[in-house]
Amino acid sequence: MKQLAISPLAPASFPLLPNIAGMNAATYSLGMYKSDRDDLIVVSFEDGASVGGALTKSNTRSCDVDWCIGALKSGLAKGLVVNAGNSNAFTGAAGIAKNDATLAKFCELSGAKPENIFLSATGVIGVPVAADLISSKLDAIWPNLSKPNWEKLAKAIATTDTFIKGFGKTIEIDGQKINIAGIAKGSGMIAPNMATMLVYIFTDAKISSALLQKMVSQYVETTFNAITVDSDTSTSDTLLVFATNKAGNEIVENSAASRVFADALNECMLDLALQVVKDGEGAQKFIEVKVAGAISVSSAKIIAMAIANSPLVKTAIAGGDANWGRVAMAVGKCLEPINADKLSIKFCGQWVAKNGGAAIYDEGEINKLMAGTDIEIFVDVGMGKSEFTAYTCDLTHGYISINGDYRS
Amino acid sequence: MKQLAISPLAPASFPLLPNIAGMNAATYSLGMYKSDRDDLIVVSFEDGASVGGALTKSNTRSCDVDWCIGALKSGLAKGLVVNAGNSNAFTGAAGIAKNDATLAKFCELSGAKPENIFLSATGVIGVPVAADLISSKLDAIWPNLSKPNWEKLAKAIATTDTFIKGFGKTIEIDGQKINIAGIAKGSGMIAPNMATMLVYIFTDAKISSALLQKMVSQYVETTFNAITVDSDTSTSDTLLVFATNKAGNEIVENSAASRVFADALNECMLDLALQVVKDGEGAQKFIEVKVAGAISVSSAKIIAMAIANSPLVKTAIAGGDANWGRVAMAVGKCLEPINADKLSIKFCGQWVAKNGGAAIYDEGEINKLMAGTDIEIFVDVGMGKSEFTAYTCDLTHGYISINGDYRS
């Protein structure tokens, strides 16, 4: 597959990420790619870390995802191993054998228990790898575990991402600094495979796994579960948040400290989620879809996601067309309660439809706004007071080329 | 918008459709298009017709669709008026005024009651037309009502269809001939509007509206509700079946005659539904997705439609790639009960995955089959005995060009 052009929505550069005390990391090249790029990351939390996460609910999820769902229940993380180049999905007994060998070797080197080690993989599916693919390299990798080089870590998990994704923030609670660093990959594509989103966030905050999980579960709904590139769900989607408990006082529920930390975690999750959308396959424009006036948040979400997933809406945006008819169509097809006579739609702040009919607007002005890279769609469905915002990208020839042009 | 190339999946020619006694029809040019093409059809059933139908469930459906839902309750059809070029959707009071004027004039000329006249429209949305757009022309059209010219009727409702769609069949029940003739349009697209499917089937069979409706409601699930081009639902989708009661003995429920007629009606509905898919925007390949081994028909349908709607599956097919990983992904994302360890997938009759892992197959042979225009995907989800078959087309650069390239 040829090198893809960097997304026009990419940030200017990889941001500065703070160090996280209590974690050591290394990258390695397993040789899964033709180039000699790194394709493995190994992280060790020698003193353990609290952990929370969200994994794909797909019924055909990979055995690595299944493993993480189990490991999350232990409430303690001692390590993380992620490889790119092979997703270990639909590999049956061979996939489990590879994970068992990796876990056994990691435990031998660290003294940890297997249920405290987290595993992820992304890449081709249905292709079994040797059981010792990773385990046979851990002896050599172990002495290299050190202060994380975030850019190298982000690069090692990338597949066809056109830019690497990171977010860093340092907050102060009770005069003590707390650091957050996150990396993500997605939604690139490796033929013959599917898009996968992997996200790892690290913090030195002192917080229980239970509270961390509660925050992750809450914020995932409005961040990673509010984005869509093409409505398809990977078998490997993984979000894990690790807290090494090295900084500050313990963050307890319902405290001022908890709110400050939660806000920063939410900011990190949203920022990385939007970076994933901005690297959506073929993306030329970033689209924010806000639905208001719904009878409930879940109803608003169904409508917002229907708009964000509509190929007709996404191709219209690609063409710079403020096509509110297609938005109205997407609203209608969800069968959620709406008042069609009050349906009102804004593109980039300009009303294009009001109370169930066309609004009078300056077409030249709208066309100028629609030619930009950031498109806002606002829809009031006229029924209630609930809102939800979804994020997506446009649907372009680039998407078809990346996913369909094998024979060209 | 430039003329689109005829779909490579189009039939060789428009078929021969039989005459239907008891109906007269005419076409007319309202001038909705720059060319002088016909864009209106008027049908009169002087002695009335039984009627059954299925209309879009969209919450933003057009006022014409709302009107037909009401008219169906009358159980009697005296007329049908369909225009292309303006969908009369999101036109508020103006849209209703136009329909009222059309109905009033039709009733004046025919002596019918308004509730027995059926109305459809397809074209741009949100653009009100003059109230007398159609009513002012009916005096001139009325003397032209005569034996239907099916090709002219099919042409008059077409928008950006690349071929016109018809189906004809004559069956014999108790030694008496019964005729069926159907026309359809879709899923072309007029900027800045959405795809719309309109289907009208006429028969001279003697059958009650109640029984006709029962058959339509049953077969629509496996025909028009089993097809998808891009997962988007029009605000105007309409299927109406009219029976003029002019031929044969009355067809009563649970009789041998009823089964013969029902089979022919089902054949007509499936044939027209597949023609709509074969004219899907940008379609280069026709795809049949059969899901077996599900716990219920509705579960099988959810899975089959998820595969048929998956952009990743559809782009893979466009690229001639037997990408079973993407099919497994689409199966998983529905969250329907499946047995991932038994999941088995065939492309064009060849097993590519068996019992949750890659099968051994001849790649050259598969690639040859995948290069064809008719692609079969068979998925056994390993849980039960229920099946469903969905029909779709591939997702190509043509789709993006038709729907997104306004500025190019």
What residues pair up with B171 in beta bridges, in sequence order? B178
User: Cβ of B19 under 8 Å from any chain A Cβ?
Assistant: no
* Range of A274-288, A325-339, B71-85 with top mean pLDDT: B71-85
Task: Pinpoint the alpha helices (H) of B147-244.
Answer: 150-157, 209-220
Q: Let me know whether A187 and A329 are in one domain.
A: no
Q: Give me the residues of A, 349-408, that contact B with CB < 8 A.
A: 353, 356-358, 394-397, 399-401, 403-408
Which CATH number characterizes residue A329's domain?
A: 3.10.20.340
Of A45-59, A98-112, A133-147, A283-297, where does mean pLDDT reach its minimum? A45-59
Contact by Cβ (8 Å): A398, A281: yes
Q: Which of B207, B229, B340, B179 is nearest to A91 (CA)?
A: B340
Q: Let me know whether A120 and A207 are in one domain.
A: yes
Contact B400 A405 (CB under 8 A): no
Contact B320 A353 (CB under 8 A): no
pLDDT recorded at residue B405: 66
User: Of A247, A278, A309, which marks where a domain is finished?
Assistant: A278
- Is it the case that residue B190 has pLDDT exceeding 60? no
Report which of residues A281 and A98 the model is more confident about: A98
- Is it the case that residue B218 has pLDDT exceeding 70? yes
Closest CB from A335, A337, A353 relative to B126: A353
pLDDT recorded at residue B231: 64
Whether residue B8 lies inside any domain: the answer is: no
Q: What residue in A sits closest to B406 (Cα-Cα)?
A: A319
User: What residues contact A263, with CB distance under 8 A and at least 6 apart?
Assistant: none
- Is it the case that residue A145 has pLDDT exceeding 60? yes
Mean pLDDT of chain B: 91
Which CATH number characterizes residue A164's domain?
A: 3.60.70.12
Q: Which residue has the tokens 């409706």?
A: B213
Q: Let me know whether B124 and B225 are in one domain.
A: yes
Angstrom distances, CA of residue B65 to CA of A264, A369, B42, B82, B105: 49, 34, 17, 11, 20
Task: Kindly list the residues from chain A whose CB atom is less than 8 angstroms away from the CB atom of residue B325.
Answer: 89-90, 124-126, 192-194
Q: B219-256, pLDDT tens digit by residue?
A: 998 998 888 776 666 667 889 999 999 998 999 999 99
Whether residue A5 lies inside any domain: the answer is: no
Of residues A27, A91, A196, A396, which has the active-site annotation? A196
Whole-angstrom Cα distance, residue B228 to residue B237? Answer: 13
Whole-angstrom Cα distance, residue B82 to residue B104? Answer: 15
pLDDT recorded at residue B333: 81
Q: B260-275, pLDDT tens digit by residue?
A: 999 999 999 999 999 9
Q: Let me know whether A250 and A336 are in one domain.
A: no
Whole-angstrom Cα distance, residue A187 to residue A194? Answer: 9
Query: Phi, psi at residue B6, to the nearest 5°?
Result: -65, 135
Contact B232 A195 (CB under 8 A): no
- Is it the case that residue A197 has pLDDT exceeding 60? yes
For residues A65-87, give the mean pLDDT. Answer: 95
Question: pLDDT exceeding 90 applies to what percent of chain A?
Answer: 70
Whether residue B241 lies inside any domain: the answer is: yes
pLDDT recorded at residue B209: 97
For residues A209-231, give the mean pLDDT. Answer: 89
Contact by Cβ (8 Å): A50, A75: yes
Signed CA dihedral, A93, A94, A99, A103: sign only:
positive
Q: Give me the residues of A, 97-116, that contact B with CB < 8 A.
A: none
CA of B383 to nearest chain A CA: how many angstroms apart? 13
CA of A106 to nearest chain B CA: how many angstroms apart? 27
Contact by Cβ (8 Å): B402, B160: yes
Whether residue A4 lies inside any domain: the answer is: no
Q: Which of A303, A130, A75, A356 is nearest to B90 (CA)?
A: A356
pLDDT recorded at residue B312: 86
pLDDT recorded at residue A53: 94
Q: Let me know whether B242 and B308 are in one domain.
A: no
User: Cβ of B310 under 8 Å from any chain A Cβ?
Assistant: yes
What residues pair up with A167 in beta bridges, in sequence order? A182
Contact B319 A92 (CB under 8 A): no
Structural domain count of chain B: 2
Question: pLDDT exceeding 70 applies to what percent of chain A?
Answer: 94
Confidence class of residue A406 from pLDDT cuts 50, 70 and 90? low
Q: What residue in A sits closest to B235 (Cα-Cα)?
A: A329
User: Cβ of B1 under 8 Å from any chain A Cβ?
Assistant: no
pLDDT recorded at residue B407: 40
For residues A178-205, give the mean pLDDT. Answer: 77
pLDDT recorded at residue A1: 42
Q: How far is CA A359 from the centre of its chain?
A: 37
- Is it the case that residue B193 has pLDDT exceeding 60? no
User: Of B278, B301, B335, which marks where a domain is finished?
Assistant: B278
Whether residue B90 lies inside any domain: the answer is: yes
Q: Let me know whether B272 and B395 are in one domain.
A: no
- Is it the case that residue B399 has pLDDT exceeding 90? no
Whether residue A63 lies inside any domain: the answer is: yes
Whether residue A13 lies inside any domain: the answer is: no
Containing B87, the helix (H) or strand (E) segment is none
pLDDT recorded at residue B205: 97
Task: Kindly list the residues from chain A whose CB atom is less than 8 angstroms away from the CB atom of residue B307.
Answer: none
Confidence class of residue A187 from pLDDT cuts 50, 70 and 90? low
Amino acid present at A7: S
Q: A246-304, pLDDT tens digit by residue?
A: 998 999 999 999 999 999 999 999 999 999 889 888 889 999 999 999 999 999 999 99
Contact B232 A91 (CB under 8 A): no
Q: B129-162, pLDDT tens digit by residue?
A: 999 999 999 999 999 999 999 999 999 999 878 8
Contact by Cβ (8 Å): B7, B163: yes
Whole-angstrom Cα distance, residue B118 to residue B70? Answer: 9
Report which of residues A27 and A55 the model is more confident about: A27
pLDDT recorded at residue B343: 95
Containing A29, the helix (H) or strand (E) segment is none
ipTM > 0.90 for the complex: no
Question: pLDDT exceeding 70 applies to what percent of chain B?
Answer: 94
Task: Kindly list the residues from chain B whose CB atom is less than 8 angstroms away from the CB atom of residue A318.
Answer: 400, 404
Judge whether B160 counts as a catalytic residue. Answer: no
Whether residue B238 lies inside any domain: the answer is: yes
Q: Let me know whether B310 and B199 are in one domain.
A: no
Q: Let me know whether A42 and A103 are in one domain.
A: yes
Q: Let me know whether A138 and A253 are in one domain.
A: yes
Q: Give me the residues of B, 44-103, that contact A with CB < 8 A.
A: 57-61, 89-92
Q: Let me know whether A206 and A345 are in one domain.
A: no
User: Of A260, A278, A296, which marks where a domain is finished?
Assistant: A278
What residues pair up with B205 in beta bridges, in sequence order? B247
Q: Let me know whether A176 and A305 are in one domain.
A: no
> What's the angle, vertex CA A170, arms to CA A167 and CA A171, rounded to 5?
130
Residue A340 domain boundaries: 286-407
Closest CB from B126, B357, B405 relative to A126: B357
Of A183-187, A290-294, B383-387, where does mean pLDDT reach its minimum? A183-187
Task: Kindly list the residues from chain A whose CB atom is less than 8 angstroms away from the CB atom of residue B340.
Answer: 59-60
- Is it the case that residue A218 has pLDDT exceeding 70? yes
pLDDT recorded at residue B382: 97
Q: Let me know whether B243 and B315 are in one domain.
A: no
User: What residues contact B142, with CB distance under 8 A and at least 6 apart?
Assistant: B109
Confidence class of residue B370 from pLDDT cuts 50, 70 and 90? very high
pLDDT recorded at residue A294: 98
pLDDT recorded at residue A192: 34
